[in-house]
Amino acid sequence: MGDVRVRFAPSPTGYLHVGGARTALYNWLFARHHGGKFLLRIEDTDVKRSTPEMTDNILKSLEWLGLTWDEELVYQSQRLEIYREVAKELVNKGLAYYCYTPEGESECIEVAPEEAEGKKVAIKFRVPKSERIEFTDLIRGHIVFEGKDIKDFVIMKSDGYPTYQLAVVVDDHSMGITHVIRGEDHIPNTPKQILIYRAMGWELPQFAHLPMILGPDKKKLSKRHGAVSVLEYRRQGYLSEALFNFLALLGWSPGEDREIVPKDEMISLFDIKKVGKRAAVFDMQKLNWINSVYIRMKTDDELLELLRPFFSEVGVTDDEAIRKLIPLYKERARTLRDFVELSRYFFEDVTEYDEKGVKKHFKRPLEVASRLETCLSELEKLENWTAQDIEGVVRGVAESLDVSAAKLIHPIRLSITGMTFGPGLFELMEALGKETVLNRLRRAIEWLKMRGAQDTPE
C-alpha cells in the first residue's frame, strides 16, 4: 500500500477523551505501519463551542501519548470559503438546492436560486432516492444503504457554515486522505459522504469503522463514568506507554496471546483487518495491571523523573528523598500516585495506629511495650544503620527474648508506619532513618503503656 494518508479530526469542543485517543492511536499505527502520513485536522466550525483551550488540550494529549503528526495542522475555520464554493458548485450542478425556512416553520422548503437572493437559506444535498450506496468497510466488510432511506441533508447552514458532512468530504479530499478510520458512530454518515464524493467526481477513500468504547454499564463512555480525559489519566499517575498499550488492545489483538507490546512492535504487528467488530468495555482493572507492569519495567532513574511532579504536589521536592522510596514501592504501586499515597509516613508523623493492627499486634500492650523497649535500646546502640544490620539486631532480640521474629516485626511496623502492610521492614527502617524510627518507637511504647494502664488492671 503506497502513500497512505490518514487523519485524526477532533473538534475542540471538549478535551480529548480515551475514545478519541484510541481512534487517533489506530490511525497513527496504521500510518506508521504502512510508512504513510498521519495528519491532524481541527474541526472548529462550531464556533460557539470550540475553544483554543480545548485544541491545546487535544494537542497536549496526543503529544503525551506519543502520537506525533506529520505536516501542518489544518483548521476548518480557515477554509470556510472552500466549503462555500463546493456547496455552490453542487447547487449549480443541480445536485443540491437552496432551502428556506419561513418564520415559525421547522422544515425548510426548496427555493430557486433567484428566490434565494437576500434570504437566509441553507443548502441541502439532493439524495438520489433510487440509488443504492454501498461500500466495503475494512473492518466490517460490505455495507449497503438505500437512497430512499436517506433524507436530503443540509450541507451548508443558513449562517454560512458548512455541516460536518460537507466539511469532512471537502477536507479529506483536499488533504489527500486515502483511508478514513473513525468511530462506528459514523457508519450512517458514510453513504451521505459517498454521495458528495460522487457528486464532485472525487475518488473515494477506503473506510474503516472502529468499534465503540463503552463504560462498565455498557453505555457509550462519557463523563458519567469518571475519568475519561487523557490528561486526567496522566494526572492520576498512569504512564503514557501503559495507556497506549491498553488502548491499542481495546478492540485489537496482536495475536499469540500478547498483552504487553512495546510501541515499535505494535507498529509492525498492527493490522486494521484484525480490529474487532464488537464494542469494548473500558476496564480500569486491566489498565491498572498494565500500568503496574510498565512501572516495574522502568528504571529507578526514569521513575524519579516521572515521580517529581507527583511529589512536588505534596510539597516534597528533595530528589534524594524520592529516590530512596523508589525501590521500596516500585513493585507495589499500580500508579505513580500510589508512590505518594503509600509513603505518607515518610513525610508525616504517625498520629494513629491502624485499628485492626492494634487488635492484632498491640494486643497485650505492656508485653509488647517491653519487647519494643528491648528493641529500642539495642537499636540505639546500632552504629551502622543498614537493613542488614537492623535485621541482625531485631532477630537477635527475638532470639534473646525467645519469641518469633514476627512478634517484633509486626509491632515495629505498626509503630513506625501506623499501618500493617508495606515494604520489607528492614529496608523500610533503613530508609526512614535511625532518628525517626527510634522516635516513633518511643512514642509507641508510651502509647502502649498508657493503654495498658487504663485497659486491664488485672
Partner RNA sequence: GGCCCCGUCGUCUAAUGGCUAGGAUCCCGCUCUUUCAAGGCGGUGGCACGGGUUCGAAUCCCGUCGGGGCCA
Q: Does 93 bind RNA (CB under 7 A)?
A: no
Is 223 among the residues known to form the active site?
Answer: yes
In the complex, least distance from residue 415 CB atom to RNA, rounded to whole angstroms: 13
Interface segment toward RNA; rule CB under 7 A; list 79-87, 92-100, 171-179, 252-260:
252-260
The residue (of 193 and 229) whose beta carbon lies closer to RNA is: 193
**Crossing angle between the packed helical segments 425-432 and 434-455, to the nearest 10 degrees:** 110
Provide the 10 A C-beta neighbour count for residue 368. Answer: 25
Residue in 135, 244, 270, 426 binding RNA, rule: CB under 7 A: 426
The residue (of 40 and 280) whose beta carbon lies closer to RNA is: 280
Q: Does 425 bind RNA (CB under 7 A)?
A: yes
Residue in 285, 351, 384, 454 binding RNA, rule: CB under 7 A: 285
Residue in 420, 436, 439, 443 binding RNA, rule: CB under 7 A: 420
The residue (of 12 and 251) whose beta carbon lies closer to RNA is: 251
Interface segment toward RNA; rule CB under 7 A; list 59-67, 74-82, 216-224, 441-449:
216-224
How buried is residue 161: exposed, middle or buried, by Cβ count under 10 Å (0-12/13-18/19+)? middle
The residue (of 72 and 107) whose beta carbon lies closer to RNA is: 107
The residue (of 278 and 381) whose beta carbon lies closer to RNA is: 278
Residue in 231, 267, 279, 366 binding RNA, rule: CB under 7 A: 279
Q: Does 74 bind RNA (CB under 7 A)?
A: no
In the complex, least distance from residue 57 CB atom to RNA, rounded to whole angstroms: 21
Q: Does 406 bind RNA (CB under 7 A)?
A: yes
198-202 LR contacts (CB < 8 Å, sep 24+): 199/90, 199/93, 199/95, 199/96, 199/125, 200/86, 200/89, 200/90, 200/169, 200/173, 202/169, 202/173
Cell numbers given for 407: 512478634
Residues between 297 and 356 with contacts to RNA, criterion CB under 7 A:
331-332
In the complex, least distance from residue 443 CB atom to RNA, rounded to whole angstroms: 20
- Please tell me the count of residues contacting RNA according to CB under 7 A: 56
In the complex, least distance from residue 325 CB atom to RNA, rounded to whole angstroms: 13
Q: Does 276 bind RNA (CB under 7 A)?
A: yes
Q: Does 292 bind RNA (CB under 7 A)?
A: yes
Q: Does 48 bind RNA (CB under 7 A)?
A: no
The residue (of 174 and 404) whose beta carbon lies closer to RNA is: 404
Residues between 128 and 187 with contacts to RNA, criterion CB under 7 A:
140-141, 143-146, 149, 151, 184-185, 187
The residue (of 236 and 288) whose beta carbon lies closer to RNA is: 288
In the complex, least distance from residue 25 CB atom to RNA, rounded to whole angstroms: 13
Interface segment toward RNA; rule CB under 7 A; list 72-80, 218-226, 228-236, 365-373:
218-226
3-class SS letters over the chain: CCCCEEEECCCCCCCCEHHHHHHHHHHHHHHHHCCCEEEEEECCCCCCCCCHHHHHHHHHHHHHHCCCCCCCCEEHHHCHHHHHHHHHHHHHCCCEEEEECCCCCCCCEEECHHHHCCCCEEEEECCCCCCEEEEEECCCEEEEEEHHHCCCEEEECCCCCECHHHHHHHHHHHCCCCEEEEEHHHHHHHHHHHHHHHHHCCCCCEEEEECCEECCCCCECCHHHCCCEHHHHHHCCCCHHHHHHHHHCCCECCCCCCCCCCHHHHHHHCCHHHECCCCEECCHHHHHHHHHHHHHHCCHHHHHHHHHHHHHCCCCCCHHHHHHHHHHHCCCCCCHHHHHHHCHHHCCCCCCCCHHHHHHHCCCHHHHHHHHHHHHHHHHHCCCCCHHHHHHHHHHHHHHHCCCCHHHHHHHHHHHHCCCCCCCHHHHHHHHCHHHHHHHHHHHHHHHHHHHHHHCCC
Residue in 48, 81, 118, 218 binding RNA, rule: CB under 7 A: 218
Task: Spot the catalytic one: 93, 219, 223, 360.
Answer: 223
The residue (of 149 and 318) whose beta carbon lies closer to RNA is: 149
The residues annotated as belonging to the active site are 223
Residues lying near RNA in the complex (CB under 7 A): 140-141, 143-146, 149, 151, 184-185, 187-189, 211-212, 214, 218-220, 249-253, 255, 257, 259, 274, 276-281, 283, 285-286, 288-289, 292, 296, 331-332, 405-406, 409-410, 413, 420-427
